[in-house]
Chains A and B, each alone.
Chain A
Amino acid sequence: MERHFELELQKLNKRVNKMGNLVAEQVHNAFDALLRGDTELARLIIEKDRKVDKLDNKIDKLCQSIFALAQPVATDLRLIMSSLKMNNDLERMGDHAVTIAQKIEGISDYPDILAELHMEEIVKMTDLIVNDVITILNTRNTAFVKDIFELALSINEKTHAVTARIIEEMMHKSEVIVVATNLIIVLTAIERLAGYSTNIAESIVFIVDGKIIKHKKKNFDNQEAAAESHIGQGDEPGLDQMLPPISEATPSEG
């Protein structure tokens, strides 16, 4: 039996996927513009953020009306709650793409600096994590969620290392302070993009499996600690218990 509000849920899924694709494109273009010093593309990204904001409002309103009119439970409840959260995360990711775009002009005067700092690798990893999480969002296949967490950790470590190096440079050369500050802002945006990607991955696990895995990443980067902290926690399994091994996970419907 098809429920009349099924159409509303389909509409919501479609809009969230559209938001995801739009933000992934904004992020990808921001990185492309950063690496090529393309200020014209940067301008277009800033302009296009209006579309992201508009879609953000539309998704919020749709969730609000479904909550009010359909009193969703179980999988529907999880979908709508998570859609609201993911929408918020995606909108913030769009803002970070804009932040990166805004800093390109200040960095493009130093064409070799990104290569010197090995930032190209971080940028590619972050482009990949965003792209991957949007694929998971579109397919609802949670098999690769672990990869997202691992990649985010790796991005974190690398951004911290590069930030430390930039601060070191700033202490010795006052003439680099402006570009260095811009780079630190870009690195912070990158770190946040990775963070929001993990948030979205967590939301998708909640939709598909009904499991809350946020705040479990500490367990994730230290398996021994995860095993220890699991003892005596009753129904609070560690991340490894909560996520299926990649080989066992199956794509979900819808």
Chain B
Amino acid sequence: MKEVKIVTKDLTLHYGQKMALNSINIQIPEKEVTAFIGPSGCGKSTFLRSLNRMNDLIPSVHIKGEILIDGLNIYEKKIDVVNLRKKIGMVFQKSNPFAKSIFENIAYGPRINGINDKKKLTEIVETSLKNAAIWDEVKDRLPDSALGLSGGQQQRLCIARTLAVQPEIILMDEPASALDPISTGKIEELIFELKKNYTIVIVTHNMQQAARVSDHTAFFYLGELIEYGKTRKIFTSPDIKQTEEYITGRFG
């Protein structure tokens, strides 16, 4: 296993009285893809959102335990959440480009981080779009509205937007579930390329997708981490019966 990037220690999360995560302990390696799988309501998206403190926005959420990124507890008071989210980008199920030009969608993040030099911004936009494998499709229409792009292109644009602020970790919540198989394939290829430089954590309901793109797989059920291991192992001989039943569709 490579260096560990994210560690959680006894992470427990409640929505009001309801426990959504029960004492999760996991070590997520750097520059690899880790997939979270499990049935709806198992806590995998809640857990993903905890990793860049997106749950802070929900008033009823109470968190116990620790999440350490590069050894630092991200729930410590001194942590600047804006900086944290710069370091940990997120891509959602539904692509959410700003109602701005393609160029401005990408330049937005760097600009609010103080980069105003046009040449520098152009460079960032080009690199980000290239790294998100969408440059060739949009290079001649950068001033056009991002809303005119197809769903698959919009999702890659959102990934490019995430890359523009140079994160270390990218969290993806069902990034391809609303896309056709060709766009899905492009996103999966992109994930494979991006892991050379980024730590990627992906939540997916599509188990074949988890099998295809991830190096490690974590199976969640009823707020518990049931099994975590190499994807190759989980999908050939999982150790836990519940994992076996879930991935083979015998669940329930």
Name A residues whose Cβ lies closer than 8 Å to a Cβ of B: 1, 3, 71-78, 209-211
Specify which of B235, B250, B251, B252 lies most central, judged by the most chain A CB atoms within 10 Å of its CB: B250
B237 within 8 A of A: yes
Contact status B237-A73, CB under 8 Å: no
- CB neighbours (8 Å) of A210 from chain B are 236-237
Chain B interface residue count, CB cutoff 8 Å, equals 15
B248 within 8 A of A: yes
CA distance in complex: A169, B243 (Å): 61
B238 within 8 A of A: yes
CA distance in complex: A77, B250 (Å): 14
B84 within 8 A of A: no
Using A78-B236, A78-B237, A210-B237 as known contacts, say yes or no to A73 and B247 having CB atoms under 8 A apart: yes
Min C-beta distance of A61 to chain B, whole Å: 22
Contact status A73-B207, CB under 8 Å: yes
CA distance in complex: A210, B211 (Å): 18
Q: Contact check: which of A1, A77, A209, A211 meets B252 at CB < 8 Å?
A: A1
Interface string of B209-252 (1 = CB under 8 A from A): 00100000000000000000000000111100001100111111
B208 within 8 A of A: yes
- CB neighbours (8 Å) of B251 from chain A are 1
Closest A-B pairs by Cβ, 3 of them: A210-B237, A73-B235, A1-B252
Contact status A3-B249, CB under 8 Å: yes
- CB neighbours (8 Å) of A1 from chain B are 249-252
- CB neighbours (8 Å) of B249 from chain A are 1, 3
Contact status A76-B237, CB under 8 Å: no
Min C-beta distance of A18 to chain B, whole Å: 24
Contact status A71-B237, CB under 8 Å: no
Contact status A3-B235, CB under 8 Å: no
CA distance in complex: A71, B235 (Å): 11
Interface string of B176-216 (1 = CB under 8 A from A): 00000000000000000000000000000001100100000
Contact status A77-B235, CB under 8 Å: yes
Contact status A74-B208, CB under 8 Å: no
Further 16 A-B residue pairs, CB within 8 A, beyond A71-B208, A73-B207, A73-B211: A3-B248, A3-B249, A3-B250, A72-B248, A73-B235, A73-B236, A74-B235, A74-B238, A74-B243, A75-B244, A76-B248, A77-B235, A77-B236, A78-B237, A210-B236, A211-B237
Contact status B248-A74, CB under 8 Å: yes
- CB neighbours (8 Å) of B250 from chain A are 1, 3
CA distance in complex: A209, B236 (Å): 11
CA distance in complex: A57, B208 (Å): 28
29 contacts between A and B (CB under 8 A): A1-B249, A1-B250, A1-B252, A3-B248, A3-B250, A71-B208, A73-B207, A73-B211, A73-B235, A73-B236, A73-B247, A73-B248, A74-B235, A74-B236, A74-B238, A74-B243, A74-B244, A74-B248, A75-B244, A75-B248, A76-B248, A77-B235, A77-B236, A78-B236, A78-B237, A209-B237, A210-B236, A210-B237, A211-B237
